[in-house]
Amino acid sequence: MDPSIICPRFEKAVAILSQRWTALVIYQLLSGPQRFCSMTDTLGISGRVLSERLKELENQGIVKRNVIPETPVRIEYSLTEKGVSFAPIMREIDKWSQSWVEKVPTDEKSGS
């Protein structure tokens, strides 16, 4: 059984994007540098997994980590050029979602 007749580069790109949270992390960083806590708050990702993902993305040259010696010290995460290059993919996903995803139920705590 050949594990892939599919283009290995394409497969690699898909592997990055289909890892849980990765696409959302990149998407959020496309709107500008972000701090750790703002990402956990906005995305609803746990600190444990966000920390893991950011390290992986840093190793892949997609994200860079910036220590800002303010007080208290801030760590800012931002995209490298490679990271920014995901923008057209995100735009297509966004376009697709506008055409094909029905209005998502808001799932409120059923107010009165």
- Pick the closest to residue 33 from 101, 84, 98 (CA basis): 84
| CB distance 81 to 87 below 8 Å | no
Tokens of 4: 């892939």
- Residue among 71 and 112 whose Cβ is closer to DNA: 71
Tokens of 86: 């995901």
Q: Could you tell me which stretch among 17-25, 79-87, 89-97, 100-108 binds DNA (CB under 7 A)?
A: 17-25
**Interaction of residue 84 with a second copy, rule CB under 8 A:** no
Site residues (CB under 7 A) for DNA, limited to 21-80 = 21, 35-38, 45-49, 51-52, 54-55, 65, 71-76
Measured CA to CA in angstroms, residue 78 lies from 95, 97, 101 at distances of: 24, 25, 29
**Interaction of residue 18 with a second copy, rule CB under 8 A:** yes
Tokens of 10: 């394409």
Which positions touch a second copy (CB under 8 A)?
1-14, 17-24, 27-28, 40-44, 82, 85-86, 88-89, 91-101, 103-104
